[in-house]
Amino acid sequence: MGKNLSIATISLLLVLASTNAEQVFDVKSYGAKPNADITQALTKAWKAACAVAGSKVVISTGAYKLGLVTLLGPCKGAIEFNLQGTLQAPSDVASFNGKDGWVIFERIDGLTVSGGGVFDGNGQLAWEKNDCNKQKNCNQLPINIRFDYVTNSIVQDITSKDSKFFHINLFECKKLQFQHVTITAPADSPNTDGIHMGHSSQITITNANIGTGDDCISIGDGNQDVSANQVTCGPGHGISIGSLGKYENEQPVSGIRVTGATLSNTDNGVRIKTWPSSPSGVASDIHFEDIVMNNVGNPIIIDQNYCPNNQCSNKSPSKVKISNVSFKKIRGTSSTKEAVKLICSESVPCQQVVLSDIDLAYKGGGGSTTSSCANVKPAVSGKQNPPACINKL
Ligand SMILES: *[C@@H]1O[C@H](CO)[C@@H](O)[C@H](O)[C@H]1NC(C)=O
């Protein structure tokens, strides 16, 4: 009996050990050397790792040049991308041949991206060529890291820096967690959104530190069940739902929770933005809670007339319906006198909007903050500084 038990125990341990063992694929074994281009080495290491169950691609400390790579699944099992060093993108946009991504993770289930390393997009030259302020459908520039059809995965302890366009983009992802991610780009770098997502669900972002030239987080159409906790944001344009209503056939956005964020010196705080003259759409069940604003412009804003650089031809009202939105425990300082702006659509007024425990002081001095409302009657409770809807538009 004792012997049988010990044999059973040993076999169990062996099974556990073999399932835990990760096979390591170091890019060095595929010819990678610091300061050289490792596009081929990484492509080969990824292919080999993807073909076995439970593997890890390692890029150790040092700087490496890297061209566009698509790290494609499905893989045999869970796979880790362990980046300890710094990957440097080509600075010229031409070498991307019109492709919209630099490092692309595609169709992978059970991916871990980790290691403390840096994805450096070298965006300076691309920012100068960015024409999105002149053209609504501007040239696509490469996004630092794309996750397309990635499921049951974790991204932790990595940095994305100076992307040419958005830093991180999610498309059709499910159950993807971001932890301790750092994203940095200068305040004046155009369209360098931190994390943008579309058509994704069950996404969580915790302890992210994001400062860029555009939205820290932007949640586009078709996202469900997204939560962002303990995010610091600034510089940048704030944390945004949208923009929505720019394109035909956009899918609903619902189940969004932003809690415990701190925004500093951003152009906007927490925002829902939809284009005028839009096709119909839906944004509902969106909650912002326990958020600190430090010298933030428009700390609380719903803008259904969103039209940057006046790119809209006719301005009929937005048809994106916004409902069940709450702003709770939002406090700190506003850099604009108008701290609360709820500008909803004339054709589909906002419904079930809640303002609770709002305390926003005007940083500029010269009086207190104000608020404006159009096509919305928010339910208010707790402290209201500024008083809700002083100006009805
Ligand atoms: C509004 O949001 C709350 C909180 O997430 C949710 O429980 C409720 O189901 C939503 N109500 C509607 C009508 O969508």
The three-state secondary structure class of 338 is strand
Residues 126, 199: Cα–Cα separation, whole Å: 27
Residues 373, 371: Cα–Cα separation, whole Å: 7
In what helix (H) or strand (E) does residue 40 lie, and over which residues does it extend? helix 39-50
End-to-end CA distance of the chain: 83
Mean pLDDT, all residues of the chain = 94
Residues 243, 216: Cα–Cα separation, whole Å: 13
Residue 70, token pair as written in the block: 């698509």
- Label residue 10 by pLDDT band (50, 70, 90): low
- pLDDT of 311 reads 78
Encode pLDDT of 11-69 as tens digits.
544 444 445 568 999 999 999 999 999 999 999 999 999 999 999 999 999 999 999 99
Residue 40, token pair as written in the block: 């081929």
Would you give the distance in Å from CA 295 to the centre of its chain? 22
6 Cβ contact partners less than 8 Å away, ≥ 6 residues apart: none
What is the torsion angle, in degrees rounded to the nearest 10, for the CA atoms of residue 222, residue 223, residue 224 and residue 230?
Answer: -170
Phi, psi (degrees; rounded to nearest 5) at 363: -75, -35
pTM value is: 0.93
Full DSSP string of 56-81: EEEE-SSEEE---EEEE---SS-EEE
- pLDDT of 323 reads 98
Q: Ligand 1, residue 284: give the atom nearest the CA.
A: 14
- Label residue 314 by pLDDT band (50, 70, 90): low
Q: Ligand 1, residue 257: give the atom nearest the CA.
A: 5
Cβ of 284 closer than 6 Å to ligand 1, yes or no, is yes
**What's the average model confidence in pLDDT over 109-132?**
96
57: CA distance to ligand 1 center in Å? 42
227: CA distance to ligand 1 center in Å? 15
333: CA distance to ligand 1 center in Å? 29
Residue 375, token pair as written in the block: 């096509």
CB-based burial of residue 178 (10 Å sphere; 0-12 exposed, 13-18 middle, 19+ buried)? buried
Location of each CATH 2.160.20.10 domain in the chain: 21-127+142-185+197-213, 215-393
- Label residue 140 by pLDDT band (50, 70, 90): confident
Cβ of 259 closer than 6 Å to ligand 1, yes or no, is no
Residue nearest to atom 2 of ligand 1 (CA): 285
308: CA distance to ligand 1 center in Å? 31
- pLDDT of 19 reads 52
The least confident of 21-25, 87-91, 183-187 is 21-25
Cβ of 227 closer than 6 Å to ligand 1, yes or no, is no
Compute the C-alpha angle 176/167/169, nearest 5°. Answer: 40
Cβ of 351 closer than 6 Å to ligand 1, yes or no, is no
Residues 240, 276: Cα–Cα separation, whole Å: 17
285: CA distance to ligand 1 center in Å? 5
What whole-number percentage of the chain has pLDDT above 90?
A: 87
**Catalytic status, residue 37:** no
CATH number for the domain running over 21-127+142-185+197-213: 2.160.20.10
Q: Are 211 and 192 in contact (CB under 8 A)?
A: no
- pLDDT of 278 reads 86
**Catalytic status, residue 26:** no
Phi, psi (degrees; rounded to nearest 5) at 79: -140, 140
- pLDDT of 17 reads 47
Cβ of 324 closer than 6 Å to ligand 1, yes or no, is yes
Residues 288, 271: Cα–Cα separation, whole Å: 10
What is the torsion angle, in degrees rounded to the nearest 10, for the CA atoms of residue 88, residue 92, residue 98 and residue 102?
Answer: 10
Residue nearest to atom 10 of ligand 1 (CA): 285
Residues 252, 260: Cα–Cα separation, whole Å: 25
- pLDDT of 15 reads 46
| CATH architecture type of domain 215-393 | 3 Solenoid (2.160)
- Label residue 325 by pLDDT band (50, 70, 90): very high
Encode pLDDT of 206-259 as tens digits.
999 999 999 999 999 999 999 999 999 999 999 999 999 999 999 999 999 999
Closest C-alpha to 189, from 211, 208, 204: 211
Encode pLDDT of 345-378 as tens digits.
999 999 999 999 999 999 977 789 999 999 999 9
Catalytic residue among 214, 215, 221, 267: 214
- pLDDT of 16 reads 46
Give 272's strand partners: 241, 302
- Label residue 2 by pLDDT band (50, 70, 90): very low
Q: Ligand 1, residue 326: give the atom nearest the CA.
A: 2
Catalytic residue among 167, 237, 267, 303: 237
The three-state secondary structure class of 213 is coil
